[in-house]
Each structure stands twice: as C-alpha cells, then as structure tokens.
Structure 1
Amino acid sequence: MSLAPDGLPPLREVIARHGLAAKKSLGQNFLLDLNLTARIARASGPLEGAEVIEVGPGPGGLTRALLSQGAARVVAIERDARCLDALAEIAAHYPGRLIVIEGDALEVDPRPHLTGPARIVANLPYNVGTELLVRWLTPPDWPPFWESLTLMFQREVAERIVAAPGSKAYGRLSVLAQWRATARIVFDVPPSAFVPPPKVTSSVVHLRPVEPRAAIDPKVLERVVAAAFSQRRKMLRQSLKALGRDPAPLLETAGIDPTRRAETLSIDEFLALARVAQSLG
C-alpha cells in the first residue's frame, strides 16, 4: 500500500476502504487533494502549538494537514458515523493530538476540550455553514473563544461576507461579519477539487476578531439587519415595519433618511439603528 507524505494512506484509498461516498443530505463534498488541504491549513497562520476546531472533517484530509503542520490539538466534530473509523486511524497516527466528537456542530460545544482560544478551520458542510458562522459572530460576550476563522464557503456566500455597502452582495452577513471582525477571501477552490464536484466555485475566507465598533446586543442588531434586508428593494420606512413597530421614530432618532434602502447603509449606520432600537426596548 502506497503512503502519502504524512505516512498515512492516500485519501482515495481511505474513502474506498471505508465506503465513504459523500452524502448530499449532509452537505458533504470531500477534498482529496492533500496539497490543497495543506494550503487551507496554512491560511490560518503558523500552526505550531495551536489548538484547532474542525467541523465536518469527513475522511480527514484537512485534519491530516492541520496535524502534520504542527497543531497541538485538533477537536473535530463529525456527525457522520461512517467517518469515525477513518478519523480513528488519524488519531492513532498522532497520539493524543486528535479528539473526535460525534455529533452535530450546531449542538456540540467543543470548548471543554480546549485549554484556551482556538482557531476554527473547516471545509464547512454547505447546509450549515452560514448558520455556524452567524453563531460564531454573535455571542453575547466579545472577544469570542476563537482567535480566527478559516472557512470554506460557496463563492457566493464568501462574497456576501466581505461585501461593501452599495454592492449587490452586501447584506446581513456582511454587517454581522464586519461589525466585530476583519474578513477577506484568501483564495478560490474549483469544483474539480471535490468529490463529488459541486456546481459552484468555493472560496476560503479568513476572519479575525476586532474590537467592535459599538457595544450592541447582537440579537438586536441581527433583528434590525434581518428586517432591513427582508425587502431589500423597498425603502427602510417600509422594510423596517418587520420589526413590529413604526420605523419612523427609529429612523429619525438614528438620523437616517427613511427613503433609503438597506444596501446603501454603512455598518456604522446599522449600528446606530440597532442602538436606538435597543434603547427603545
């Protein structure tokens, strides 16, 4: 049996041996190119001694890259029981450095397995990626338990995360990401890199937490932004009715023209709106 540079079998062999056909219902698209998984791992910064959380490791291509590049500990959350034996082989190859938690990342808290701030590095399952990102960006306390996020999304989602006001992609994700973090697209990954190949290009996004521009309750900001973009073609005096109150006093107090549309507001203007909404209760 031929071995990869890390001393483990090639991923195609692992997938064949364990019968790991990707499941659409789990949003799975496996990355088999170990050069590419190594590039994703490097995008998170030097890994020597770092603690890393990985969501949806599948057969473990990215897991292997994180460990071979020096991560002190990887906590991998995997809901597909079929992948556990393949991940156990990696854990045996790197004794004491890989913890595999079987479960849904939307329900599992990895923090008890960490000794301090961790990086989150993941080829996120398409069907939960956005929800996980919003959760990581909107905890009540800041700074968060993570020191950086290096995540793969569909290119369209990545563009929404980094979009500037006034652009077509600017929306809820842009505001929530850029309120408390810096975000940039690191590189694109073509469909051909995956098994099975998705219909769209993917992108790796890197986010780092920063001091928030304003101390706002994340839930209030989420509600305001969701309402504003719920009817993005309509003026704010109409779309903000989704908050369940007359938006006129809200807009007037925040100093925002009620005839504007959500996509024209800067992040600071959204924060001003959320601050007023929070004060009005």
Structure 2
Amino acid sequence: MASLPPLRDVIARHGLAASKALGQNFLLDEQLLDRVAAVPGDLDGEDVLEIGPGPGGLTRALLRAGGNVTAIERDRRCLPALAELSEAFPGQLKVIEGDALAMPLASVMPGPCHIASNLPYNVGTALFVGWLGGQAWPPQWKSLTLMFQREVADRIVATPDGDAYGRLAILSQWRCDARLAMKVHRSAFTPPPKVMSAIVHLTPATMPEGVSAARLESLTAAAFGQRRKMLRQSLKSLPGALAALEAEGIEASRRAETLSVDDFVRIARTMDAG
C-alpha cells in the first residue's frame, strides 16, 4: 500500500476528470474513505461489490480492510488506474467493465456479499431499489453501505409525518434495518457537487410473514403517487385496498405519510389474504 501514489496524482496521470454524464464525483480523503469502509464491520476475507469505483479511492479502503472486491466500472478511462490496484493487492480485486444496471447481482457475485459504493448520482436510486426488491429473502447481499445525495439518504431512513417520508422509506425499512451512518460535506469531493451527501447502511431483517414484495410495492406506489390526497382517493383504483383499510381499522381519510411502515405491511398482508 505504501507504494501507491496519492489519488490526486492517479487522477492527473490518467486524465480522469470527473464526468458529469456518468454522475461522477471523486472522494480523495483516504482517512474518510477508511471510515466509510469500516461502516459494514469486519470485511477481512469478505466478498464486496463496488459500483462505479472511478479512480479507486473507496476501492483502496475496501482492499486495505481485507475485502475481496469485485468492482463494476463503465468508464474505461478508469481501468488502468484500477489495474494498478489489482497489482498492489494480488488476488483481491476483480474489475468488470460494464453497466451495473444491466447486470443482475447473481450474475456478478456467485455468493453472499457486502455492497459498498459511492454510487453515481444518476443511477444510484435505481440500483438501490433493485437490490431491495423481489420476494426472495434474505437477499444475496449481507449489507448495503451506500453514498447518496443527502436528500435521498434522508428519504431512506425517514419516519412518518415528515416531508422525506414516502415510498422509499417503506421499501427500505419493511424488512431491513436502515440507518444514516455518516454525513459527508460537499467539499470532500472532486469536483464538489451542488448538494450534501450521506452514507446509509442497511442490513436484512426478518421479513414479515404473509406479505408479498410485489403487493407492498404496488400499494406504496398508489398511496404515495398522490400523497397529498386522502387514502380513499389514492387507493380507490387498487382492488381490495379500501376493504383492507377498513379491516385494519385505518381511517380512509388519512394521508399516506401518516401511516407507519407496519401499517403498510398490515394493509398489504390483508390484501394478500383476501
């Protein structure tokens, strides 16, 4: 590790100006990156997936922590810098060139893994929702340690009755433990983004019985698609939803943001049972 040049030198030598089209903002503070890599816990010998490593700042930290890292990078300008890391950490780093959105997790990682990424802003939420979805549970991932814009991070960990609370909070929390692990100031990035960032950490929890992921997804899409309207209006087109509200003793005059995660789980369970 001591032979590796500073990240700024790597970026300059390989001409890696951050691409706005690819949603790139590079983190260069290696102490901060080591803190991010510590969020999932002990990674020694663990398989780790990283999306969008760029010049390899977080990759270095994950490798120093002992992780066996698979990194997916679509910007081929970054591949020579990542190849240098492969040489510095023999057998620990595998780099795949391509678009992570087009690669199902199971096709990239053969077994359970941690996912840790400074996600590109333009694809981060889509990747995240994909990892949360599906009926199979527990998922293939052991933990998610992800950098988002602060606004998105707040939506993931939000509680009822706040402006940030919505569909993303329900999908994140109904069968996961989700927390805000770190706040990251915009000045830590090169170039600095216009917004603040934060690290969220999620681990799989017990999945409630009798509830399908597809049902919960359709329920929350309807409820929050018209979040300022009463539930009797926003859910009227969803078969069985209003009957489930009545069965669960939830007033149809309420709005979606006033219901807890457990409330949505109970409604979805009653709909599935019907």
Aligned to 1:274: 268
Query: Contact 2:210 / 2:272 at 8 angstroms: preserved in 1?
Result: no
Query: Secondary structure of 2:35's match?
Result: helix
Q: Deviations over 1:231-267 (max 9, x none)?
A: 1111001111353x47432422333211010011111
Aligned to 1:79: 74
In 2, distance between residues paired with 1:89 and 1:99? Answer: 12
The offset of 1:41, in angstroms, is 0.3
Query: Secondary structure of 2:165's match?
Result: coil
The offset of 1:191, in angstroms, is 0.6
Residues 1:121 and 2:116 are matched in the alignment: yes
**Which stretch has the larger CA shift, 31-40 or 111-120?**
111-120
In 2, distance between residues paired with 1:240 and 1:6? Answer: 59
Aligned length: 274
The offset of 1:100, in angstroms, is 0.6
Identity %: 58
Distance 1:133-1:6 versus aligned 2 partners, 3 A rule? farther
Give the structure-1-normalised TM-score: 0.92
The offset of 1:115, in angstroms, is 5.5
Query: Contact 2:242 / 2:252 at 8 angstroms: preserved in 1?
Result: yes
Aligned to 2:236: 241
**Which stretch has the larger CA shift, 84-93 or 207-216?**
207-216
Query: Contact 2:241 / 2:271 at 8 angstroms: preserved in 1?
Result: no
Which residue among 214, 223, 226 is the counterpart of 1:228? 223
Gaps of 5+ in 1: none
RMSD: 1.6
In 2, distance between residues paired with 1:89 and 1:215? Answer: 49
Q: How does 1:11-160 map to 2 (within 5 A)?
A: 11-71=7-67, 73-112=68-107, 114=109, 116-160=111-155
Give the structure-2-normalised TM-score: 0.95
In 2, distance between residues paired with 1:37 and 1:220? Answer: 38
In 1, distance between residues paired with 2:88 and 2:95? Answer: 14
One-letter code of the match for 2:245? L
In 2, distance between residues paired with 1:40 and 1:259? Answer: 43
Gaps of 5+ in 2: none
Distance 1:196-1:113 versus aligned 2 partners, 3 A rule? same
**Which stretch has the larger CA shift, 58-67 or 42-51?**
42-51
